[in-house]
Structure 1
Amino acid sequence: MTKRMGYRDWRWQALWWLHFFLLWITTDGQTRYSIPEELKQGSPVGNLAKDLSLGLSDIFDRKLRVASEAGKQYFTVDAGKGELVVNDRIDREALCGQSASCVLPLQVVIENPLQLHRIEVEIRDVNDNAPSFLKSDHVIEIAESTLVGIRFPLEMAVDPDVGSNELKTYTLSKDDCFTLKVKEIENGRKVPELVLNKSLDREKKAVHNLFLTAMDGGNPVKSGTSKITVTVTDNNDNVPVFENSLYKIAINENSPNGSFVISTKATDIDEGLNAEIEYSLGVHMPPSVLSLFYIDSVTGDIYLKQPLDHESQTSYRIDVSAKDKGLPKMEGHCSVQVDVLDVNDNAPEIVLTSKSTNVPEDSRSGTVVALLSVRDLDSGDNGKVTIQLGKGTPFTLQPSFSNNYALVTSGPLDRENFPEYNIEITAIDSGVPPLSRKKIIPVSLTDVNDNPPVFTQPFYTVYLKENGVPGSILYSVSASDLDFGENAKVSYSILDSKVQDVSVSSYVYINSDNGSIYSMHSFDYEKLKVFQIQVQAKDQGSPPLSSNATVHVFILDQNDNAPAVIYPSSAALGSLSHQRMPRSAKAGHLVTKVTAVDADSGHNAWISYRLAEATDASLFTVNLYTGEVRTKRAASEQDDSSQRLLIEIKDDGEPVQSATVTVSILLEDGLHEPMLDLRQKVAEPSKKTGRITLYLILSLASVSVLSLVTFLILAVKCIRNSRSSGSCCMRRSDCDDYKNPNRNLQIQLNTDGPIKYVEVLGGDMLSQSQSFRSCMSPMSEYSDFTLIKPSSTTDFKEVISVLDASLPDSTWTFESQQVSR
């Protein structure tokens, strides 16, 4: 027994070091030798120096040494010859047991420089072990009345050699009453059985001495012998007989320890001690069976010692012996077949065979994402597995073969909504109760360029003051792309378009990286009031995608124009205007009217008139809003006949811009001119004066008729609009909606004096139809007005004619609203 335990220890230690050296990474190739076991000490194995390409001097210089991990130094190096020689006795059976292959790994270490070589020495088996029996003597008691043909199992021999050197056959010494039969059991083992070939007669021969010889297949053949002494006993000539020669029983694998398995029953027709039966398990039962079952020696009941496992072994065969207490003892035999029933104690397993690293989001339905298989160690219904896929994902499972499945796409994928899926797969068996197992398969989607850049808004409105510094930033547009990586990198550009027949790129440029728009030069409101820019955002995908946005740029007016005097005309008369007035003029007499316009808009174009200097400030006054020059009192004989007035004209901007005009008035006696108050009657005008008067009357009548028609139209519109929008007319302060940038178009009508003009403050360049609503100042005294078509490029002095009519200060504001067609 001590030798057997040492053999096992050496076997496991050798296997461990074999596994270790298989994982060891060497610097050079592997060298292998093959030798038989039991070589004498000093026997050469191989020329190590030659095989490692070393000289004999290298063995000393580089300190070559051989290390064995098998526990002993079985080999050493002959420094003189460079050979690997046997250093100690090598017993293959002690090292590797009955393993078919026996390899000893060696580690050869060489220094200066350090090198490591792995050498394997295969140990071949030699027939150095003879078969042997555990007992050299075996005694068998057989009653004389034993029937012919009864078999008696004998002890098996053991031969530690392997292959052709292992145990091959048995022989029995010659005897007339006995013959030998060899029965082959599991794993190819051979069990010798002694067969009674002839009835025994104790009186003739009470003891039979037999020799059982076991022989191996070596050359030469080796053998072992066991002496079998057969003692023939008298009287007890009936053996116990079992009710069944073979019992069959099925038991669940989850039966607890100590569970009853089956009851065996044998009877003996003898009496007394010859009929008392003692049960036991067969002497030749393998240890794996003996460790699981035990039998009650009195009742023959078999019980479970340890839990069973259907997955490890599905059936067991138990040999049961029933031996009476007679002299000699008689023995009966039976077999019990125990089938282990499967219970559902193993959950299914999901094995991922292969998996795609990334799946493009534009993959078609049916694209394979992963391959997987399912298995269950149980059998029958307990091993039948169904597989389920979690809901709410665009994936499905397609069966392929033998519990193998393909995970494929079943619908469109969108990385921008779901960049990654954690697909839950559940495997459920058909057992009772069913067992299940889940597995999560992560699937990442790769981006494709399927989303164009999107601006934060389709239209941008920018208000820019005129006379700005070139190179200043106008606005920054921004677009985002739902894609990823290069597909989401956005660059900006300006699409080519025309502004006043000039490319828009001459006005502005854009930073392609951040979308900031810069001015190329300063803008003049009086030349350009509004223009639009088409901005394109393009990603860097393949193919690239783009989108456009429109930037409306409104130039805001600055007070950079001084009022221009259009009457009296300075071009014809210089800066001095000569007027005549009768000395008989009374208070309120209209002497002349100064008219000026301002190229600016809004408050910057509101003009006021002031008398800055005068020869006699008590004689004349200037209307603040209309520029009318009237007498404050009646002229007298004491007043100078030559009066000089300096009139200052200012706008309402910031800073204030102003201009001046000098008016020279000559007081004459008996002068009658058309400039007299139109409300005064003229008794007998001259032919020339009457013609002028007629023209003025016709003009006044025409204006009055036009005003009446206009007011009728406005009244009708006001009545219609009042139902939905409230009052039609408002105060001036209520008409300041032109300052609201949300208006599509704002038009201001100024009637400060005889010149009436309309100014466009802003509007929708795409509008095709407009409706106007008027608001009249409560200061208006007359209803006559003249509209002049607005133009941003026409000079006021070229399009406005001078009207020397007396109109009160009034301001008209018109608002344009977009009307759908």
Structure 2
Amino acid sequence: LKRWLALWWHHSFLLWSTIDGQTRYTIPEELKQGSVVGNLAKDLGLGLSEIFDRKLRVASEAGKQYFSVDAGKGELIVNERIDRDTLCGQSASCILPLKVVIENPLQLHRIEVDIRDINDNSPTFLTKEQALKIAESTVAGVHFPLERAEDPDVGSNSFKSYTISKDDCFSLKVKELRNGRKVPELVLEKPLDRERKAVHQLLLTALDGGSPVRSGTSQITITVLDVNDNIPVFEKSVYKASIGENSAKGAFMVKLKATDKDDGQNGEVKYTFGEHTPESVLSTFDIDTETGEMFLKGKLDYETAANFEIDITAKDKGIPEMEGHCSVQVEVVDLNDNAPEIVLTSQPSPVREDAPSGTVVALISARDLDSGNNGKVTLQLPRDYHFSLKPSFSNNYALVTSGVLDRESFSGYNIEITATDSGSPPLTTKKTIPVSIIDVNDNSPKFTQSSYDVYLKENGLPGSMLSSVSASDLDFGDNAKISYCILDSKVQGVSVSSYVYMNSDNGSIYSMHSFDYETLKVFQILVQAKDHGSPSLSSNATVHVFILDQNDNAPAVIYPSAALGSLSHQKMPRSSKAGHLVTKVTAVDADSGHNAWISYKLAEATDASLFNVNLYTGEVRTKRAVSEQDDSSQRLLIEIKDDGEPVQSSTVTVAILVEDGLQEPILDLRQKAPEPGKKSGRITLYLILSLASVSMLSLVTFVMLAVKCVRNSRSSGSCCMRLDDLDDYNNPNRNLQIQLNTDGPIKYVEVLGGDMLSQSQSFRSCLSPMSEFSDFTFVKPSSTTDFKEMINVLDASLPDSAWTFESQQVSSEVCTGGPSLGVRDVRCAPIVCRTVQRDLPPPQPQQRNPYNTPSWRRERDALPYT
């Protein structure tokens, strides 16, 4: 125990030095696991916190991980037992190179650990007993080679000397070869006398130079032979041969020759390997016992054994046998038979796609088991790569970026590195290193469409899905994860979020409540797709929602007015003829298109043969002349239906009083008008005032148009336009335009004034062949915002409607009309003026219009409405 403690304290003082920027530690072999080699963190100038943060680790080039780093203290410690004799053999120097890898940023340091030998092995002989046969005639001074001792230790701890037990006839001499090996030889000091002593027993002891000294012994038994007193002698004591490591089996190496002065069988020589030749030599080489020629028997490998030293014995055939000895030194010539190796010192790190050029990806080293030029290795990368190799030291390289990376183009690279040695011919090795690219949020989400058109029926269920938008992102992970939202905007002064809501995960848009076409016809939603990157990116798209009309409104009766009660009282003279206009029922429908087409039908009547209701106009006329037998009180139930699906309807009841003596209804009405107590007189007065106001308005309007026309005619020369000029309707240079249009049975004139690209005024006069009344529309000055695209979309959704652009945008509109509104509805909207027209059957050309008569005009004027 004391001896080991002394040895420990002898080696406990660890030396370190820096040579060419490298750190070297010196330790004895056989240290226990956990023994401290040195403070690596301090020697590298690192703080204790950096050991963990920068992931300091040690990589060994010897294959085994003999050392590790104590992360808490920064000390290099022994990881497992180190046997220098196994690791480095008889090499005078045993240095373990280590690579210290530090990340963030990546750094590589090289340190060396010098393993010092301790005297832990005793000299040993291959055999514990050696037998020699020596003829008694052998003269004094002859040398007999003995088996040499082997000591795995090196330096002063290795073999040092031999001693032999005392014998008068023999002495020991140590022969030192040129390679430094010491071979013991037994020297015959005086002739032997077999009759005096036939066997000599000697003890050969081998001593090393350690402290304490270790030794090994071998028993030598010498048998004294008689007669044959000459030994074979080789021409050379040492033969040299060289052979390539790729030589084929049976290749000739060298020819040995020994001669014996004896005659006959005592002079015949046969050649054999030495008695103690290792098996590795016997399996590799062969010798012809008769000729002494040596041949290659097995396979050579320079990297396993670069040279051999073979003992050859030449024996004669005498009795006893005499033998001579020589040594053959075989040098194996290295060939380039080992391909270079590519070793990853550190695994490749993922690289951000926005990483600057020169970012270190991985640390790589190269090695080749061959020697000389055969072991010199160069590394190369293919051209047009975004990576390059930056040399470090002694076949160490750093793989760095050398260009702009784009994960959307390449999410990863398989970098093929080629290692080539300098042998002839050169050998190459390829290794593929996968490098993944970390995504950076550099792509914003993209919608499949820049705008979406959604057509939604009114009166739908709240919570129903209107539409679904979709966006995609070229990025990856959270950078490609998309959330959808609705940007705040106003619809009729209310936030759009009160109308719809959106699923943020899948982009589905749902209604918050039911929509009413008559209240809201179109609105738009601005949606946004936003990714989850940092910082996040977004893009917008517009969803146009068009409300489609449903037949959800029943026709509303305008006349008879609800203010007069649900029962309309009418009078007619008993002298009325067939076709007499009794009254006219007028109704409108808040819906549009086919849903607003109104028809009238006589549902019930006191006398169905007496009255008829026009299907389209609602005019109630007599089918025949009134007779004296007809009841004076007639009651009609008129049903009003629209053309929607399902059909909506309403009814109105008309009570008709048939009286005698009512020949001049106009005169009667005028006589009753001054009576303030009569309801019909008041209504007539109000209608007359309304007619007067409308007439005055029309007169003023036409006067203004005439004045403007005259002013324009002074510059342009004419106020009237040819039909060919109607093509220039949108020409901003026209200050006044008059256009006669035909829309089925409706005739109307449009008068447009002002610049279409600035504020303008529009006037329309509508004439119906079914009535002598006309509709007149006045549109106030408007702005120049273009809504034609939106109206085209609306028109596509309602093909049965007719759209007229009164101006490019209408801020407000005044619509006036008489009972003919029953066949023509004018819708006034905040944006455009929409004209809904019902198809009417054209009048028969062969029939005379029964309503264009003085009698009809008088009866018309007698009606209590305009």
| Pairwise TM-score range, normalised by the shorter structure | 0.5 to 0.7
Please state how far the C-alpha of 1:533 moved relative to its aligned partner. Answer: 1.4
Give the whole-Å Cα distance in 2 for the aligned partners of 1:710 and 1:570: 48
Counterparts of 1:632 and 1:403, CA distance in 2: 117
Q: Following the alignment from structure 1 to structure 2, what is the Cα–Cα distance between the partners of residues 273 and 294?
A: 24
Name the counterpart of 1:608: 599
Give distance in 1, aligned partners of 2:347 and 2:259.
Answer: 67
Shift of residue 256, structure 1, vs aligned partner? 3.8
Q: Cα distance, 1:246 vs. partner?
A: 5.7
Q: Structure 2: how far apart are the matches of 1:251 and 1:730?
A: 114
* 1:555 positional shift: 1.8
Partner residue in 2 for 1:500: 492
Alignment of 1:583-598 (within 5 A): 593-598=584-589
| Contact persistence 1:595–1:755 (CA under 8 A) | no
* Partner in structure 1 of residue 676 of structure 2: none
Q: What CA deviation, in whole Å up to 9, does each residue of 1:9-30 have, x standing for no partner? A: xxxxxxxxxxxxx99xxxxx99
Q: Does 1:168 align with 2:188?
A: no
Q: How far apart in 1 are the matches of 2:581 and 2:346?
A: 104
Distance in structure 2 (CA, Å) of the matches to 1:341 and 1:131? 29
| 1:527 is aligned to 2:543 | no
Q: 2:368 aligns to what?
A: 376
Residue deviations 1:142-191 (CA, integer Å, cap 9, x gap): 887x9xxx98343247699999797623479899x999652235996521
Indicate the residue corresponding to 1:69 in structure 2.
none
Note the alpha carbon deviations across 1:226-279, whole angstroms, 9 max, x for none: 69899999997x98563x676543322233443322223567899877876544
Inter-partner Cα distance in structure 2 for 1:539 and 1:220:
78
Pair 1:262-2:254 in alignment? yes
**CA distance change for structure 1 residues 130 and 789 in 2, over 3 Å: closer, same or farther?**
closer
- Note if 1:307 corresponds to 2:286: no
1:260-409 matched pairs, under 5 angstroms: 260-265=252-257, 278-281=270-273, 288-320=280-312, 335-356=327-348, 358-387=350-379, 394-409=386-401
Alpha-carbon displacement from aligned partner over 1:612-639 (angstroms, at most 9, x marks no partner): 4556655554332233455545677887
* Residues 786-801 of structure 1 aligned to structure 2 (within 5 Å): 799-801=815-817
Partner SS, residue 309 of structure 1: coil
How far did 1:589 drift?
6.1
- Paired with 2:183 and 2:654, the residues of 1 have a C-alpha distance of 149
Q: Which AA in structure 2 matches 1:139?
A: I
Q: TM-score, normalised by structure 2?
A: 0.55
Tell me the equivalent position of 1:155: 146
Q: Structure 1 residues 564 and 270 mapped into 2: Cα distance closer, same or farther (>3 Å)?
A: same
8 A Cα contact 1:527 1:792, kept in partner: no
Question: Which of 775, 782, 787 is matched with 1:767 structurally?
Answer: 787
Q: Relative to 1, partners in 2 of residues 1:591 and 1:791: Cα closer, same or farther, differing over 3 Å?
A: farther
Decide which of 625, 635, 640 is 1:649's aligned counterpart. 640
Alignment equivalent of 2:534, drawn from 527, 532, 542: 542
- Provide the C-alpha distance between the structure 2 equivalents of 1:791 and 1:522, rounded to a whole number of angstroms: 28
Counterpart code for 1:557: D
The match for 2:818 is 802
Tell me how far apart the structure 1 counterparts of residues 213 and 309 of structure 2 sit (CA, whole Å): 37
- Contact 1:132 1:158 (8 Å CA) reproduced: no
- Distance (whole Å) between structure 2 residues aligned to residue 409 and residue 344 of structure 1: 33
Q: Which moved more, 1:660-669 or 1:531-540?
A: 660-669
SS of structure 1 residue aligned to 2:543 = strand
**Residue identity matched to 2:617:** T
Against the structure 1 CA distance between its residues 159 and 517, is the aligned structure 2 distance closer, same or farther, given a 3 Å change threshold?
A: closer
Mapped contact 1:509–1:520 kept (Cα < 8 A)? yes
Q: 1:552 aligned to 544, 556, 572, which one?
A: 544
* Alpha carbons 2:635, 2:653 under 8 Å: kept: no
SS of aligned partner of 1:354 = coil
Determine the C-alpha separation between the residues in 1 that align with 2:838 and 2:598: 16
Q: Residue by residue, what CA displacement relative to the aligned partner does 1:481-534 show, whole Å, maximum 9, x if unpaired?
A: 555554444433221101112211222233434444333333222121111112
SS in 2 for 1:505: helix
CA distance, structure 1, for counterparts of residue 123 and residue 269 of structure 2: 45
Distance 1:510 1:766, change over 3 A: farther
Residue identity matched to 1:801:
G
AA paired with 2:787? S
Q: Is the 8 A contact 1:142 1:233 kept in 2?
A: yes
Residue 669 of structure 1 corresponds to 663
* RMSD, matched Cα: 6.3
Q: Relative to 1, partners in 2 of residues 1:497 and 1:151: Cα closer, same or farther, differing over 3 Å?
A: farther
One-letter code of the match for 1:462? V
Matches of 1:793 and 1:577, distance apart in 2: 41
The 2-side partners of 1:304 and 1:221 are apart by 37
Contact 2:584 / 2:619 at 8 angstroms: preserved in 1?
A: yes
Is 2:616 the counterpart of 1:625? yes
- Is 2:175 the partner of 1:183? yes
User: Following the alignment from structure 1 to structure 2, what is the Cα–Cα distance between the partners of residues 291 and 421?
Assistant: 49
Code of the residue aligned with 1:622 in structure 2: it is: V
5+ residue gaps in structure 1?
1-21, 24-28, 31-97, 100-122, 676-687, 718-727, 733-748, 759-764, 776-784, 815-821
3-state SS, counterpart of residue 346 of structure 1: coil
- Tell me the distance in 1 between the aligned counterparts of 2:538 and 2:613: 63
In structure 2, the partner of 1:44 is none
The answer (yes or no) to whether the contact 2:441–2:536 under 8 Å persists in 1 is yes
Equivalent position SS for 2:369: coil
- C-alpha distance 409-480 of structure 1, shift in aligned 2 (>3 A): same
Is the alpha carbon distance of 1:335 and 1:138 closer, same or farther for their aligned partners in structure 2, counting shifts above 3 Å? Answer: closer
Residue by residue, what CA displacement relative to the aligned partner does 1:342-387 show, whole Å, maximum 9, x if unpaired? 3444343332221146444443443333323232323345444454
Alignment of 1:114-153 (within 5 A): 134-135=129-130, 139=134, 152-153=143-144
CA distance in 2, matches of 1:555, 1:569: 31
Q: Distance in 2 between matches of 1:612 and 1:222?
A: 139
Q: Note if contact 1:757-1:787 (Cα within 8 Å) is conserved in structure 2.
A: no
- Residue aligned with 1:355, SS: coil
Partner Cα distance (2:329, 2:725) in 1:
118
Distance in 2 between residues matched to 1:251 and 1:362, nearest whole Å: 57
Distance 1:304 1:632, change over 3 A: same
The answer to whether the 8 Å contact 2:135/2:320 transfers is no
1:686-697 pair list within 5 angstroms: none
Query: Given residue 134 of structure 2, which amino acid in structure 1 is its aligned partner?
Result: V
SS at 1:289's partner residue? helix
Letter in 1 for 2:614: N
TM-superposed deviation, 1:606: 0.6
Matched, 1:250 2:266: no
Q: Secondary structure at the match of 2:346?
A: strand
1:562 maps onto 2:558 in alignment = no
Stretches of structure 2 lacking an aligned partner (at least 5 in a row): 1-31, 36-88, 91-117, 670-687, 707-719, 730-740, 746-765, 778-784, 796-802, 826-834, 840-866
Between the aligned partners of 2:787 and 2:804, the Cα distance in structure 1 is: 25
C-alpha change, 1:450 and 1:625, in structure 2 (3 Å) is same
Cα distance in 2, alignment partners of residues 222 and 246 from structure 1: 28
- Is the partner of 1:625 in helix, strand or coil? coil
Q: Is the 8 A contact 2:353 2:440 kept in 1?
A: yes
Question: CA distance change for structure 1 residues 593 and 266 in 2, over 3 Å: closer, same or farther?
Answer: same
Conservation of the 8 A alpha-carbon contact between 1:261 and 1:302:
yes
CA distance in 1, matches of 2:382, 2:200: 75
